[in-house]
Amino acid sequence: MAFVAKRCGVKFDPPSIVLVYEDGKTKKMRQRIMPVRNFSKCSDCSQAAERLKNNARHSAYLQGVSLQQLERLHAVLRDHLRGRTLEQSLASLRLDPDQDLNKLSDEELARRKAQMDVLFERNRKHKDDPDFVYNLEVEFPEVDDREAGSWDESEEGF
């Protein structure tokens, strides 16, 4: 591969995606700043990410960067345009196991679901996989002395 992506980040002013990559020929580390154009606080992050990934000038460099990552970086840029701090923005990208997702807006919920889908896809067995079993049954015998860290607290009258 001509360019090996190493790291990818953002710059707020002007809104840009920054890529650190290795040039396959010279083996030198380089940095590429890709301004994000026509992007406002109302823009659709997945469309913008796709646009950048398919951009004639940048696509060769972005081969090794997933669309999901570009989408997340655009979400950080957009959050900044909306006046959110970087901390708030990153927190919303992280999964908080105690957050009640029932209470989120459609867009926020979609963001969380997209994050969960990463793990889902990673662990997913497809029906074309050689070791795919449609009816996969696994027994988990009840252990008498289960380890601590239970989610049941005695004071809560479940």
Using CB under 8 A as the criterion, which residues of the chain lie in contact with other proteins when the complex forms? 95, 97-104, 109, 112-113, 116, 119-121, 123-125, 127, 132-138, 140, 143, 146-147, 149-152, 156, 158
Question: Minimum distance from CB of 132 to other proteins (Å)?
Answer: 8
Question: Minimum distance from CB of 148 to other proteins (Å)?
Answer: 9
Question: Minimum distance from CB of 93 to other proteins (Å)?
Answer: 15
Helix (H, G, I), strand (E, B) or coil at 76: helix
- How distant is the alpha carbon of residue 129 from its chain centre? 25
16-43 burial, b if ≥16 CB within 10 A, otherwise e? bbebebbeeeeeeeeebebebeebeeeb
At residue 153, φ and ψ (nearest 5 deg) are -105, 135
Residue number, 83 or 149, with CB nearest to other proteins: 149
Other C-beta atoms closer than 10 Å to the C-beta of 68 total 15
Residue number, 56 or 143, with CB nearest to other proteins: 143
Question: Minimum distance from CB of 40 to other proteins (Å)?
Answer: 27
Residue number, 87 or 98, with CB nearest to other proteins: 98
Rg of the chain over all Cα atoms, to the nearest angstrom: 21
